[in-house]
Structure 1
Amino acid sequence: MTASVLVRVEPHWRVIVSRYGDALIERRELRGFDSASDLAKKSKEVAEQLNDPQLSAFSQQTLSRLESDKTGEYIANARPRIQRMLSYLLGWSAEEFEAAVGISIPAVSYLGSVPTESTLETYTPRRGGPPIPPVVSFRETPISIPNELLEMVEKYGDTYPILKTERMQRMLAAPRAHGGLEVGPQTADDWFEYWIANKRFLT
């Protein structure tokens, strides 16, 4: 297990805290994951169970690179969804992750409430802070898929199969559905440019 180092800094002893990749290893082992492979497998399980677009599973190779980071550059440039998943599995909020690792990451409202193994199956992500009773029952917002978007999907769907999924089409169409017909792309070519510019954030 990687440990913080106790060194002599005249005239006192001082604890030098692990940072960057060393801090990740230290926390992983503290959480009971003996290897990077174990935590990578857990990330896949959690991603499938929570099905949260803000969280992404990661491979053992990716985690090993993160844990080998001595400068913070690789951790800082990791995909936000991987940063969030790592913070989630290590039991840190975004603020705690930054304090321990030295890298700021995007926050997720429920990162401070990591479910246990026994409650994961029934766990529902929630906002941080005091619980607020729902005012109305959940209702899925109807979203109409523009014909121009469907035309773009027909043209480029074989190249980008994810475009054929209802979920991706709803994600692309949502801003226009809520902002009005004049908001967002207007032609099939516009939709394709919009997809290319934003696909790294949507997949």
Structure 2
Amino acid sequence: MTAVRRAVADDVPRAAHVLAAAFAGYPWTDWVVPPDDRAARLTELQALYLTHAVRHGVVLVDEALNGVVALVPVDAPPPDDATWHAVAALHGDRLERLGAAEPPPPPPGAWTLAALGVLPAARGAGLGSRLVAAALADVGDVPVVLDTSDPRNVGLYERHGFVVVARADVPDGPAVWSMVRPVLRPAGSSAP
């Protein structure tokens, strides 16, 4: 079992490849990323998002770089204009689809679990779960939100304390489950 560590900028190209491979065939990705050169587009999109997350959030990888998880605080600064223009170009005529499943407002102080992916060849050994657990421990006692369009992911996240708070059935697109892991409180503590 390899250790989980914080990613650095030099890890972004490999981590982007991991996420692109993990999201191949993912319902939301297939719907929002055009099919022509999808793998290359997805790798470039993930590199843009991961670069932002490394700067402003928490990105964890295992030592073998078979898996990656990225979280960003809801109040992180938005990506710069050049990044947004690159994102728009990569989504092409499907850019408008990004806003089709509007999630509920996040709780104050929330972080967003923006991406979790494990290379297909490394799946089934618990790496995704280890990455989620490590990332949640890293950000601490704060609410964490996420969206998933794969119903198989709902159970994984529920095992880590997330609950479904909404489901959006996108016309001509995939269903999207919005989930939140509420603030955790140690046993015996009282809520403010």
* Same structural fold, with TM-score higher than 0.5 when normalized by the shorter chain: no
Q: As a proportion of its length, which structure holds more helix?
A: 1
Tell me the TM-score normalized by structure 2. 0.30
- The structure having more radius of gyration, on CA atoms, is 1
